[in-house]
Structure 1
Amino acid sequence: MIDLFLMSPPGPTWALRGRANFRSQGAGQVDARAARQEWLGFARALESRGAMVVALPSPSAELTGMPYAAESGHILARKGAAPLFLLPRMFSAHRQGEQAHWSGLAQRMGLEVVDLGVGIWEAHGDVATFDGATLLFHGVRTNLEGMEAAARYFPGEVLRIELREPAFHGNMALLPLPAVDRMLVCAEVMTPASHALLEQRFGRERLLPVTGEEIRRYATNGLPFGRELLAPSVVPERVRALVEAQGMRVIPFVMRELCEKGGGASRCLVSQARLEPGSFTVPEEHRLSAVAARMEAEG
């Protein structure tokens, strides 16, 4: 199987535009050059661990949300057929133009593109998997209509989880750690009924609690890869110790521009899928090596 990550580097003039989350609302201006180095270092760290990064540079300086590729779409593997690529339907107006560009890349990769057509659905950022179940989130940006439109494409068991602010995506409410059969969960940012559903389905002992204050420091926004958690350096020390006590290793990444100012952490920078070799193609110009070479030439 291939661990595939869709990503999008910040452009040379990248800036904060929408300021639609609690970090970016009051942040100072970003340093685009530093953000590009943060992005490139993280993308190379993924490939050094055996993953494949497919990168789509933004075709427009106006599409400043594209580096947060968790909202690029969601890939679903299928046996004997091309993977599906479920397109997002974005809440923020300044990000709605991204859909056409991700759709074009997905088609060039040989994926079957699906436009849900209704509701608001912010794609991979509102999807998680654990113990054979798919968790779909709604309630802040993704709405119930959009979630239900997406749900019919997910096979097997699907759990619906309702969020509350300040979590605007599911990846701010919980983080599956499949290598150690545990999940970080913030009960404060989901409805009591949704938290009870998690306890009933997975068992209380498998849910590791984190607080609302800790998720503001990206407690649930690291990216698990095997027995490592590739996490922003601002993750609280208590959460790092909690994860490492389960037998994982936390690898910190300094992301002052993309994370501390922009408001998206390592898990927000990718849309991830596990696909069979031969089920998709990668245009050469979208391989990380080619994109990195262009970025370095641009300075």
Structure 2
Amino acid sequence: MTRLLMCRPDHYGIYYEINPWMDRGHQADRGVAVRQWEALYRLLTEGLQVQVELLPPVPGLPDLCFTANAGLLVNGLFVSSRFRYREREAEVPHCTQWFAERNYRVACLPEPAFFEGEGDALFCGNDLFAGHRFRSELHAHQLLAELLGLRVHSLELADPWFYHLDTCLCPLQPGRAAYYPEAFSPASQRLLKEAIPELLPVTEAEAKRLACNALVIGRSVVVNAGCPHLSRTLTEAGYHVHEVETTEFLKAGGGPKCLALSLDRDGS
């Protein structure tokens, strides 16, 4: 992952409640959020030499900064999200326009299948894992597999606090991932163990700090601050760990990974 899409949180805030993290009475501090986003941006662009493209922020779309939810890009085809909640529907035309203007092919799954992009679709090596229940639908996985010509491993999420797959699974490299087991149904826990030989479990306390919502850049992993167990595990496994503060984004159920969409996936 060397090219990412991000969006400044200039209009970010907690203006509705569509997951258990969000509480309009526990408002995010936008100034702090901007500073945290800028620190992440500097780490990626200056520290890790990542090329970051910017999606323009739009007034009235507070969650547009969570670009991972915009869709899924594979082999130059951008599969746009269809959000379950109407509060986020207006993000779609802005995201699809950005990709269309840059000559990406753009597609959307047939209605009424809900699909929420990289929030619920993650590659581990060449294997695509997709979450369903709280946001994306199981039926969308079949449609996604047909559209992309790829096999999709469907994972049922079991805890509404971990409403997207990227809140509880972090692919690190082919055959290895960090995960929070209790976020998955028993059958999906078994599927993960069969499909990914090396799974690194995350503690409950760190899972609730969205430890799995990490950005993996080669052997570097950008992790939410306050996750010492995962940071130590990753360091011992040979990764370079970079901790960042995302306290204001946690109030909406987001972390470092939510704030970036991969532009590099070639599906090969």
Do they fold alike, i.e. is TM over 0.5? yes
Report the secondary structure of 1:198's partner residue: helix
Counterpart residue number, 2:237: 246
Report the secondary structure of 1:196's partner residue: helix
In structure 2, give the amino acid aligned to 1:148: Q
TM-score, normalised relative to structure 2: 0.90
- CA displacement at 1:117 relative to structure 2: 2.6
Report the secondary structure of 2:212's partner residue: coil
Q: Quick check: 2:122–2:171 contact (8 Å CA) kept in 1?
A: yes
Match of 1:47 among 33, 45, 48: 45
In structure 1, give the amino acid aligned to 2:100: Q
Q: Quick check: 1:10–1:57 contact (8 Å CA) kept in 2?
A: no
Kindly name which structure, 1 or 2, has the bigger radius of gyration based on alpha carbons: 1
Counterpart residue number, 2:212: 220
Work out the CA distance in 2 between the residues paired with 1:6 and 1:248: 23
Deviation string for 1:127-177 (max 9, x for gaps)? 111232111111211111233322222334321111111310111221111
Does 1:70 pair with 2:33? no
In structure 1, give the amino acid aligned to 2:184: M
Report the secondary structure of 1:103's partner residue: helix
Q: Quick check: 1:4–1:275 contact (8 Å CA) kept in 2?
A: no
Counterpart residue number, 1:35: 33
Counterpart residue number, 1:24: 22
- CA displacement at 1:70 relative to structure 2: 0.8
Work out the CA distance in 1 between the residues paired with 2:125 and 2:110: 30
Report the secondary structure of 2:231's partner residue: helix
- CA displacement at 1:85 relative to structure 2: 0.6
Q: Quick check: 1:75–1:86 contact (8 Å CA) kept in 2?
A: yes
- CA displacement at 1:21 relative to structure 2: 2.9
Match of 2:117 among 123, 127, 130: 123
Q: Quick check: 1:27–1:262 contact (8 Å CA) kept in 2?
A: no
Q: Percent identity?
A: 25
Report the secondary structure of 2:139's partner residue: helix
Counterpart residue number, 2:252: 262
Q: Quick check: 2:213–2:256 contact (8 Å CA) kept in 1?
A: yes
Work out the CA distance in 1 between the residues paired with 2:104 and 2:67: 17
- CA displacement at 1:27 relative to structure 2: 6.0
Aligned ranges 1:134-283 → 2 under 5 Å: 134-165=128-159, 166-178=161-173, 181-203=175-197, 206-234=198-226, 236-259=227-250, 261-274=251-264
Q: Quick check: 1:120–1:147 contact (8 Å CA) kept in 2?
A: no
For the aligned residues, what is the CA RMSD? 2.0
In structure 1, give the amino acid aligned to 2:65: P
- CA displacement at 1:233 relative to structure 2: 1.0
Q: How many residues align?
A: 263
Does 1:98 pair with 2:91? yes
Work out the CA distance in 1 between the residues paired with 2:261 and 2:163: 17
- CA displacement at 1:190 relative to structure 2: 1.1
Work out the CA distance in 2 between the residues paired with 1:257 and 1:3: 25
Work out the CA distance in 1 between the residues paired with 2:25 and 2:40: 22
Q: Quick check: 1:189–1:212 contact (8 Å CA) kept in 2?
A: no
Q: Quick check: 2:67–2:261 contact (8 Å CA) kept in 1?
A: yes
Q: Quick check: 2:176–2:196 contact (8 Å CA) kept in 1?
A: no
Change (3 A) 1:196 1:21: same
Q: Quick check: 2:80–2:92 contact (8 Å CA) kept in 1?
A: yes
Work out the CA distance in 2 between the residues paired with 1:135 and 1:123: 12
Structure 2: 5+ residue runs without aligned partners?
none
Work out the CA distance in 2 between the residues paired with 1:157 and 1:15: 37
Structure 1: 5+ residue runs without aligned partners?
78-82, 277-299
Report the secondary structure of 2:118's partner residue: helix
Counterpart residue number, 2:78: 85
Report the secondary structure of 2:2's partner residue: strand
